[in-house]
Amino acid sequence: MPYGQPPPPDPRHRQPPYPPPQWQPQRPRSGGGAGVIIGGVFGVVALVFVGLVVVGALIKGSRTADPVSPVAIPTFTPFEPPASSTASPEATQSRPTESTVTTPARRRILNTTLKNNTLYRAGGLPRVNCPVGSPSIYSHSQLKALILKTSKCLDRGWSQIMRAQGMTWHPPGYAVTSSRGRGACGDFPSPGSIVPYYCPRNTTIYASTTAMAKGSGNSGGYGQITDWHGGVISMMAHEYGHHVQQLSGLSNDWWQQTTRSTSRSGKLALSRRFELQATCFGAMFMRSVSASYPVTPARRNTLYYFYSRVGDWPGYPRDHGSPANNNRWFRQGYEKNKTFQCNTWLAPASSTS
């Protein structure tokens, strides 16, 4: 994914796009109509879920937030299933985006569509005790330990609300190095980039601590926006948001709609909604640990400033959303802390541009 520091890089010298892996949606654990696997790749939308890219003026040494407008996203009503939801085997097979979970009490139908996913009934993340101290993002050992520690905090919050809705949950894997490496979905980070990525093939998050903090090649690091570790961790929470999308079925429905789209602009529009939703989920986590992490009001403003500086560079593929909308959806997740408030699929196009 393109990343740069000011002045904007000359488009003639842009970094190559992330090499598209032969990605496929994760195979369901049980058989049935939901077992259809979509093959192939497309060259426009990244087929792994990578972190956000940095744009705008990176004011080194400034740690205060720019004035930002209030959240301008409508309040959505969570999907409510019919009072009686039973389906014949034929009906179940005709709807490949739904699966069933059998519990001792009842047979539950999980909605795995983008707009009405069962995840939207999960509510907010509970408060999670996650004190982290003052590690340095410039120390590989300290940042790696912080990432792995906060991963347990992410597990505690998301597993609780997803399991309560009858969803199968398991933690993602992590591969964190000081420099770079090769993962199941390709090199991390990609040449000239700094961003971590989530690979749905093996549900693993890959990251380079040095690249994220200090940059790589011509790409500056997140440390140029803030050297507070909360910025990097919020990015890791964004990648975890892709894991939530994978487990809830959002990823598969997004992938199917993307492969059905016949236009480049349509694929990019779907990618932006997908990425902005992960940002909103990541913000929910930062809110859930704010009391103990801690995320003070001043640090909260630092995060708002951070997300007003990440997004799509002008002249590059518009696949992650503008800086204004990244800021807006981060604030949406942080201030609302409800999964249905992160339903980018019902939001107006202006808020996902």
Segment 299-340, tens digit of pLDDT: 999 999 999 998 887 877 899 999 999 999 999 999 999 999
The pLDDT of 284-309, averaged and rounded, is 97
What percent of the chain stands above pLDDT 70? 70
Whether the pLDDT of residue 71 is over 50: the answer is no
> Helix (H, G, I), strand (E, B), or coil: what is residue 214?
helix
pLDDT number for residue 48: 60
For residues 25-43, give the mean pLDDT.
40
Going from the C-alpha of 126 to that of each of 4, 110, 153, 157, 284, the distances in angstroms are 36, 22, 11, 6, 10
CB 307 within 8 A of CB 246: no
Give the integer Cα–Cα distance in Å for 5 and 190. Answer: 17
239-267 burial: b if 16+ Cβ within 10 Å, else e:
bbbbbbbbbbbbbbbbbbbbeebeeeeeb
Query: Within 10 Å of residue 6's Cβ, how many Cβ atoms?
Result: 13
Task: Determine contact, residues 56/282, Cβ cutoff 8 Å.
Answer: no
Residue 207's DSSP bridge partners are 176
Task: Give residue 44's pLDDT band: very low, low, confident or very high (50, 70, 90).
Answer: very low
Beta strands in 48-115 (DSSP E): 49-50, 98-102, 107-111
Say if residue 77's pLDDT is above 80.
Answer: no
Mean of the pLDDT values across residues 252-260?
96
* Whether residue 20 has pLDDT greater than 70: no
What whole-number distance in Å separates Cα of residue 285 and Cα of residue 262? 35
Identify the residue with better confidence: 50 or 302: 302
Mean per-residue pLDDT, 165-192:
90
Residue 53's pLDDT is 61
Say what the pLDDT of residue 41 is.
39
Q: Which of 36, 170, 168 is nearest to 102 (CA)?
A: 168
User: Does residue 91 surpass a pLDDT of 70?
Assistant: no
Which CB contacts under 8 angstroms, 24+ apart, belong to 99-105?
99/28, 99/30, 99/32, 99/34, 99/249, 101/166, 101/167, 101/168, 103/166
Q: What is the mean pLDDT of residues 22-26?
A: 41
Read off the pLDDT band of 144 (50, 70, 90): very high
Neighbour-count burial of 56, counting CB atoms closer than 10 A to its CB (0-12 exposed, 13-18 middle, 19+ buried): middle
Is 53 or 268 the better-scoring residue by pLDDT? Answer: 268
What pLDDT is attached to residue 189?
Answer: 82
- Tell me what pLDDT residue 49 has: 65
Q: What is the pLDDT of residue 107?
A: 59
Q: Is 12 a residue whose pLDDT tops 60?
A: no
Statement: residue 185 has pLDDT above 70: yes
Residue 195 confidence class, pLDDT cut points 50, 70, 90: confident
Structure-block tokens of residue 5: 């520091």
pLDDT higher at 315 or 268: 268
* Residue 45: strand, helix, or coil: coil
